[in-house]
Amino acid sequence: MSVHIALLGRTPWALVNTYYASVMKGERPKEVYIVTERRYSHNLPKITEAIKTISEAYGFSPEVKTLIIPDDDFKEADRVLKNLFFELKEKGSDIVLNMTSGRKALVAAAIIHSMESNVWEILYMALLDVQFPNRPYMMLPKHMQVLKNFLGDGNDG
């Protein structure tokens, strides 16, 4: 089973656009987990809807789940992400980690705990010109968006 874990910080479009790029490359997750701090949780309804809309346009419907961590609670971020990666490892899930929008505490905990799991991509999408950050993926010139897989698949920027 394929799972997409997306870390949400202050830039919702970064999360959504990285997910869109991943789907365009062929990812078809059965589940999507959006992990965020409480201060950004007000964005979850629209992000959940965007994930579902993009997925359905490509012919699949993942279950979207959200995890909310108290603001700046490094211990809780570590605990929640450790448990999530452990559960997914036990299920034998293939994982894509989308860290583009994530805050440092979430990104650090996710990368540390992903090392013991079946993570096959750690994605970050750089926006080379930040003049238009709040636009959908397809409304930004493709050459301005570089999708990087930090685990290296030969197709990344």
CA distance 107 to 101: 9
How far is the CA of 96 from the CAs of 34, 43, 128, in angstroms? 12, 21, 23
Q: What is the pTM of this model?
A: 0.90
User: What is the pLDDT at residue 127?
Assistant: 73
- Kindly list the domain boundaries of the chain, sorted by start residue: 2-149
> Among 76, 95, 98, 77, which residue's Cα sits nearest to residue 85?
95
pLDDT over 90 (residue 138): no
Three-state SS at 88:
helix
**Identity of residue 156:** D
Lowest mean pLDDT among 20-29, 100-109, 126-135: 126-135
Q: Is the dihedral of CA 10, 128, 15, 98 positive or negative?
A: negative
Could you tell me which CATH number the domain at 2-149 has? 3.40.50.10770
CA distance 83 to 15: 22
User: Residue 145 — very low, low, confident or very high, per pLDDT cuts 50/70/90?
Assistant: confident
Q: What is the pLDDT of residues 31-70, one digit of tens each?
A: 999 999 999 999 999 999 999 999 999 999 999 999 999 9
Mean pLDDT of 81-88: 97
User: What is the pLDDT at residue 132?
Assistant: 63
User: What is the pLDDT at residue 13?
Assistant: 92
CA distance 38 to 124: 22
Mean pLDDT of 85-98: 97
